[in-house]
Structure 1
Amino acid sequence: MYTKVLPKIEELLRRCGDDTVLGPKLVAYNSTAPSYVIFEDLALKGYTTIGHRHTSLEEVRTALLKLAKLHAISYKLGLENDNVITSMDKGSMNSIDPNSFEFIKIGIELLKEVISEHSDLREFIPHIEAVEHLLLPKSIEMFNKGSSGAKRDGIFVLNHGDFHMKNVMIQNSDGKLRDLMLLDYQISVFGSPAIDLHYAFTMMYSPEMRRDHHDELLYFYITNFQETLRKSEYRGHIPTNVEFRQELEKHRYWGLFLLLSFLIFSYSFSDADGDLAKVIEDKAEQKKQLRDPRLLNELRELLPKFLYNGYFEY
């Protein structure tokens, strides 16, 4: 990603007058044992981490702007059968067995136990149980769609693959956001943009954004994707707003899997006393985090929305 893919995409952006930087500068690397990569020290340029809080709307818009440009140029290259892009076919769900992670294997079961303690949430358990056996297989199937031997149907882009609030650094000056740097392209994968977009909903957005700004942010991403393609002098079909939404609907099981299994980590990331490693490794700690009243209240908002939007259909 850092030696070939990002430089290639940034070069194409430069050709159309766009100086967007998609990742930190690579200073040195070695691909043979002992392998290593060394990046520029972003702290020297005034970049800091998000810290123990949710992202702001401006920060998420900046992250989505860069994501849209990454997706748009890689969409163009993918249609040109650029092997550098299309060979990136292994992501988080198809490079190793997800069931090897205990928190994935037991996460939904623990969530059902917790929501069974609340009469208003208990009614969603039958809906979850009707589709939970499909969530992992369908998600893995989606990740495999980008492989060279698969029949590709829909929109295909190079996904960041781990697009969450801890994989960015921000640069502020005089109280204003000057830049946001995307980090950690270790599991980038060629596939549906739904991979990153559903992930952003659960792992990048704040609870307020999930509740009030989802359509706005999706539209912002789509229009910048389209505009980037136009500026790149791409002459083919430009995916429409409707087609992007169809991608999200087609891969709704991935979105539901993330909501049920990963929303807990969005709260762990933003809590000053949150211990992500402990939540992942300790069943009791995971259950304790699931009982967080803020998380349960958000589920009271999101589970009905997911039900009404057909996420539990099979």
Structure 2
Amino acid sequence: MDSTTNNESYNADELEAPEWLNAQYFEEVIRQHEKTPEVKVTEIKMSPASAKGDHYASVMFRGNISYTTPKGKFSKSLIIKTMPEMEGHKKEMLGDSYLFKTEIAMYTKILPEFEKILRKVGDQTILGASCLYHSLEPRQVLIFEDLVPQGYTVMRDRDATEEELKAVYTKLAKLHAISFKMLDEKPDYLKEFKNGIFEIPNFIDDPFMSAGMENFITMIKKLPEFSKYVTHFEKLRIDYMDRAKDILQEYRVNRKPDGYYVLCHGDFHLRNMMFQYNPTNGAFKDIMLLDFQMSNLCPITNDLIYSIYMLMGPECRKNNYKDMLNFYFETFVETLQKIGYMGKLPNVTDFWKQMSQHKAYDIFLLTTFFPMMCAIKENNCDPAELIQNNDARLKMYFTDGFQEELRYLLPRLEDLGYLD
């Protein structure tokens, strides 16, 4: 591991790369990718590929690989994504999950096909990074080109601007639109994408999930300014989790004839994307969506409700969330028209009606995931500790940032009838 690595900034299970990430392994990776039989790795420099708070459902390393072929000397910077090997909560929760099968299918089958559809109508949008290598046996591994040398970076120290958010929602709208058309014309092509967050083994019963509402109610009981909402949430706690699960599984379990269904990203938060800027003047250029591990067929509302809490900054969430989602929807419909969708076009009135009908997902996110996002942003917390330690989880409900958000979110949800 690179000796310059600051251990406090990274996940513990990413500080030391496993022994199997060696010269022999990378020679095989490069041999397959470049289709050359003669490869000799001369140097490997490994380091963590992400910071604390960026992700939890995998282990990621950056490998700077120097090698030779008959054509000369070369080097590549690679991102290696694999399953946790360190014993503990992460391995227990994720070890038997579908995550890598889903993501491999997204990068090798779906995203390339969707990009072909866009190219046919003159759209050069890139939906995902280049996947150079993948395997499920003997280990679950995905290897990507490193986007950092191309000027991409993860946004950790500020909120996305309106321009950046619109670029994000534009790519999401195109991804959604192509899948919407495909579900109408060739639904079997996407049938394997049937696993979302509620299909992760043991996840529903994990204390992080099951204690969310309890911790939220504990907090609002202690703070007089929020005490008026206790009765509402005491009623909601009875079945909010089941209702949220029903929403996310609606396409597979209880499909509605007028529902808008798409292949969703599934974990659409700010650190699951990278932003590219012009190296000369710093102007924004592009975004790249990352981490398609939880992509699945579900209501169009899934990614969008999630994005309100996990992608938008406080200013947009408070004052501009409807404008931003209307921008998304306009792009969604425009893309459907552009790619030749022949069915009845979705309309914005029904879109917002479905957003309202899926209010249980708002409640789930508000009481479980959103407090963690606020805590990570405010205190640079370790998500592993928040997920595994209830004392740490309870503290995240008392952060200044989360409570400031509640001062406008709770009245809004009450006005919308979401707390009934």
Structures share a fold, TM > 0.5? Answer: yes
Whole-Å Cα distance in 2 between the matches of residues 144 and 12 of structure 1? 27
> Once the two structures are superposed, what CA deviation does each residue of 1:244-297 show, in whole Å capped at 9, x if it has no partner?
111211111011111121111221342363222222222222222211122112
Q: Which residue of 2 aligns with 1:18?
A: 123
- 167, 170, 178: which one aligns with 2:275: 170
| Distance (whole Å) between structure 2 residues aligned to residue 150 and residue 310 of structure 1 | 23
Q: Secondary structure at the match of 1:136?
A: helix
Name the amino acid aligned to 2:255: K
Is 1:289 equivalent to 2:396 in the alignment?
A: yes
Which of these residues, 53, 56, 60, is aligned with residue 158 of structure 2? 53
Q: CA deviation at 1:33?
A: 2.5
> Distance between the aligned counterparts of 1:229 and 1:260, measured in 2?
35
Specify which structure has the higher proportion of strand.
2
1:27 and 2:132 are equivalent in the alignment? yes
1:151 Cα deviation from its structure 2 partner:
3.3
Tell me, yes or no, if structure 1 residue 268 matches structure 2 residue 372: no
Taking the aligned partners of 1:59 and 1:270, their CA distance within structure 2 comes to 18
Alignment of 1:223-242 (within 5 A): 223-242=330-349
Instruction: Indicate the RMSD between aligned Cα atoms, in angstroms.
Output: 1.5
Secondary structure in 2 aligned to 1:98? coil
Q: What is the TM-score normalised by the length of structure 1?
A: 0.95
Structure 2 residue 294 is matched with structure 1 residue 187: yes
Bigger CA radius of gyration: 2
Question: For structure 1, which runs of at least 5 residues remain unmatched after alignment?
Answer: none
Which residue matches 2:306? 199
8 Å contact from structure 1 (residues 268, 276) kept in 2: no
Q: Aligned-pair distance for 1:298?
A: 1.2
3-state SS of paired residue (1:213) = helix
1:7 to 83, 90, 112: 112
Instruction: State whether structure 2 residue 411 is matched by structure 1 residue 301.
Output: no
Question: Partner of 1:301: helix, strand, or coil?
Answer: helix
Q: 1:74 aligns with which of 174, 179, 184?
A: 179
3-state SS, counterpart of residue 143 of structure 2: strand
Asked whether the equivalents of residues 90 and 143 of structure 1 are also in contact (C-alpha less than 8 Å), the reply is no
Question: In the alignment, does 2:244 pair up with 1:158?
Answer: no
Counterpart-to-counterpart distance in 2, 1:282 and 1:292: 16
1:31, CA displacement in angstroms? Answer: 3.5
State the Cα distance separating 1:97 from its structure 2 match: 4.1
1:279 aligns with 2:386: yes
Task: Supply the distance in 2 between the matched residues of 1:260 and 1:309 (Cα, whole angstroms).
Answer: 17
Q: Select the structure that is richer in helix.
A: 1
CA distance in 2, matches of 1:211, 1:94: 32
* Corresponding residue for residue 247 of structure 1: 354
**Which amino acid in the other structure matches residue 260 of structure 2?**
I
- Structure 1 residues 301 and 18 mapped into 2: Cα distance closer, same or farther (>3 Å)? same
In 2, Cα distance between equivalents of 1:123 and 1:23? 45
Query: One-letter code of the match for 1:155?
Result: Y
Match for 2:355: what amino acid? Answer: L
* Equivalent position SS for 2:142: strand
Residue equivalent to 1:214: 321
Shift in Å at residue 3 of structure 1? 0.8
**In the TM superposition, what are the counterparts of 1:92-131 in structure 2 within 5 Å?**
92-131=197-236
Contact 2:333 2:345 in 1 (8 A): yes
Letter in 2 for 1:258: L
Cα deviation for residue 150 of structure 1 reads 4.5
Moved more, 227-236 or 285-294: 285-294
Number of aligned residue pairs: 312
Other structure's SS at 1:302 match: helix
CA contact (8 A) 2:266 2:294 kept: yes
Whole-angstrom distance in 2 between the partners of 1:15 and 1:196: 26
- Distance verdict in 2 for CA 1:269–1:69, change over 3 Å: farther
- Greater relative contact order, per chain length (Cα 8 Å cut-off, separation 6+): 1
